[in-house]
Structure 1
Amino acid sequence: MKAVQVVGYHDKLQLTEIPEPTITGPLDVIVKIGGAGVCRTDIHILEGQWEAKSGVSLPYTIGHENAGWVHAVGDAVTNVAVGDKVILHPLITCGLCTACRDGDDVHCENSEFPGINTNGGYAEYLRTTARSVVKIDDSLEPADVAALADAGLTAYHAAAKVARVTRPGQYCVIMGAGGLGHIGIQVLKAISGVTLVVLDRNPAAVGLAVEIGADIGIVADGTQVQQVLDLTGGKGAHAVLDFVGEGGATAEGVAMLRQAGNYFVVGYGENINVPTIDIISTEINFIGNLVGSYNDLNELMILAAQGKVTLHTTTYRLDEFQQALDDLDAGRVRGRAILIP
């Protein structure tokens, strides 16, 4: 089958022919890929940022946002059948460790992460397990929801945390209205009464944010911190949901946060530099967010089927992977880029 593989860090990906995955265990599921999301993490992988953490052997197939149709199943699989449309939870999990038994799949002690530390979905087929496949509604197509498997799941996971600690009428600043941000906006609009203030450097992204539910859109032109403080009577936002995490965003985000506020970190790339006396004197909290649980993904698919979360996509053929990555890196992608084998 055709697959796009990492052959070396700081090198370009290569399209090559590799064997199709086969059933090796009773709970295995082979999925024919209908869409694979192109994520900024894929660029970070090529830059070598994940080399030490993942420990993956090269070459391997990239791609961690995947959806498609069930192609083959192991003899113990009962939750899906050949032909079912599915989206894949990013992790392959054991189901036996304490985290899995708590429903906290993302912290499985024995997990594999297709596209990160084992073969992913920039390919025609992918092997996962029965624990990782979520059936999707007949009204949804794999290519339309593929990026919800990670970008959407991460955004939902973080937005649900915001919803649990905020009340209607309070303020949440969303930093970044791109691939993840535009999903987080829709999720919060669907499950929370919080007032959404969305910041982005790109005026078009701000316009899209307002179209899909943001209460206030602000172009990040250097005056955004003061604009947020003015909106909140000088007190700052109750929550900041940061989908950027680099380029000075964290310092600005902290400056927009009120006392006892919560800073939800999703984007990454720089350090948060805050004097500890400022943290204790204001009792602000920093909360990390990594993907989400199987149940989070199932709930997100319900919102998608209800039409409350729509993924804005730009599609590319599998052999156009380099163009997709280049467009993403240059900020030319509106929403999420999707590879279709």
Structure 2
Amino acid sequence: MKAAVLHEFDEKLEKSQFVVYEDVPDPRIEGPNDVIVRIGGAGVCRTDLHIIEGLWRNNSDVQLPYIMGHENAGWIEEIGPAVTGFKVGDPVICHPLVTSGHCLACRRGNDMHAEESAFPGVNVNGGYAELLKTGQRSLIKLPKTLAPKDVAPYTDAGLTAYRACKKAATHLLPGQYVVVIGVGGLGHIGVQVLRAMCAARIIAVDRSDDALELAGKCGADFTVRATGDQVEQVLAMTGGHGAEAVIDFVGEGSAISEGLAMTRNDGAYYIVGYGGKLEIPTIDMITSEKRIIGNLVGTYPELVELMALADQGKVHLSTAEYRLQDANQALLDLHHGKIHGRGVLIP
């Protein structure tokens, strides 16, 4: 099969070619619950750039060369002998983690904290290819309304945004405020999830006019351009107190300190984006009683819930499509901020 393969790290992302489009062996059924999926779409994620930078070397057992791509959807190509409920040709979306389901975390539904797991595109070969090996427990059948290429990025970007926004929505009341920092590939999904799940007023913050325009279309009540006075603008909008919830899809640079400053006392700051460092004096934590909440990719049931919202037309993805052989261009466009929404590779 053809695949876009990562052969070496590029810590400064200076090269014009990150991956090599080449022939590699097809994945094979090895276990009774294995499934081979013919890729219909593979999302291009900022995590892929972090992998290229080498940031994941100490957090996953990445052995080069290997194939990135952890946001995958397509059609079942082959199934293991113990697989039931699925057949060849079924359109599916893949939860990003492959687990056995036997450990306590899995039995509680928290597969992302499984004692043993494979994460295609992160620690094993992923979906920047024509075929992907995954497991039955990771598969969700797609309704006829949703095409694999249109929903692939939901498996990480959408699911992570959904998990964070679902947490926030449980305590947001009508008349309260929620701030979304960064309205790119994750943030524009987050705005839609918040709009669908709560009645709080949504403030979108971004430095890109195009991103803010997209945020407005996705349901944001107010937009703030990040030109240096965004904290003051948000505080003025919220009566000087800050928002009850701030969801930070950037997680680096000044966004962290600004996000905390936008969070009112007894409010919650949800950190989704990463790459920066969180520092806050303990006395400020005590006197403000702010809550800082980390967010990993969501659960299998949460991906089912997100697909229900997509099927109902309440959440949609803004995507830019690339051929698999153009994976380098997609990665470069993402790196240089030219993709508004999510990039998708199509074999």
C-alpha offsets along residues 157-195 of structure 1, whole Å, 9 cap, x if unaligned? Answer: 111001112112211000000000000011111111111
Partner residue in 2 for 1:97? 103
Q: Partner amino acid for 2:8? A: G
Kindly indicate whether residue 8 of structure 2 is the aligned counterpart of residue 8 of structure 1.
Answer: yes
**Partners of 2:250 and 2:340 in 1: how far apart?**
16
**Which residue among 235, 238, 252 is the counterpart of 1:229?**
235
Aligned to 2:133: 127
Q: Paired residue for 2:42, among 31, 36, 41?
A: 36
Aligned counterpart, 1:275 = 281
Query: 2:89 matched to which residue of 1?
Result: 83
Structure 2 residue aligned with 1:251: 257
Give ranges in structure 2 of 5+ residues lacking alignment: none
- Distance in 2 of aligned mates of 1:330 and 1:4: 20
1:25 aligns with 2:31: yes
Q: In structure 2, what residue type is equivalent to 1:86? A: V
Secondary structure of the structure 2 residue equivalent to 1:338: strand
Partner SS for 2:170:
helix
In structure 2, give the amino acid aligned to 1:134.
Answer: I
Matched, 1:293 2:305: no
Please state if 1:220 is matched with 2:226.
Answer: yes
Give the aligned partner of residue 114 of structure 1.
Answer: 120
Aligned residues of 1:90 and 1:149 also touching (Cα < 8 A): yes
Matched, 1:336 2:339: no
1:223 CA displacement: 1.3
- Give secondary structure in 2 for the equivalent of 1:54: coil
Q: What CA distance in whole angstroms lies between the structure 1 residues aligned with 2:228 and 2:126?
A: 39
Q: Which residue identity lines up with residue 333 of structure 2 in the other structure?
A: D
Aligned-partner residue type, residue 332 of structure 1? K
- Supply the AA of the counterpart residue of 2:108: D
In the comparison of the two structures, how many residue pairs are matched? Answer: 341
Displacement of 1:262: 0.5
**Sequence identity (%):** 55
Q: CA deviation at 1:211?
A: 1.0
Shift of 1:33: 0.1
Tell me the TM-score normalised to structure 2 length: 0.97
Per-residue CA shift, 1:94-134, capped at 9, x if unaligned?
A: 20111100011111111110000000000000000100011
Shift of 1:79: 2.4
Q: RMSD over aligned Cα, in angstroms?
A: 0.8
Equivalents in 2 of 1:118, 1:288: separation in Å?
25
Q: 1:67 corresponds to which letter in structure 2? A: A
Q: Partners in 1 of 2:85 and 2:230 — Cα distance? A: 48
For residues 298 and 237 of structure 1, the distance between their equivalents in structure 2, rounded to whole angstroms, comes to 29
1:261 aligns with 2:267: yes
Deviation at 1:6, TM superposition (A): 1.4
Is 1:79–1:130's contact at 8 Å kept on the other side of the alignment?
no
Q: Residue in 1 aligned with 2:79?
A: 73
* Amino acid across the alignment from 1:317: R
Runs of 4+ in structure 1 displaced over 3 angstroms?
none
| Structure 1 portions without partners, runs of 5+ | none
- Relative to the length of structure 1, the TM-score reads 0.99
Instruction: Give secondary structure in 1 for the equivalent of 2:37.
Output: strand
- Superposition deviation, residue 23 in structure 1: 1.1
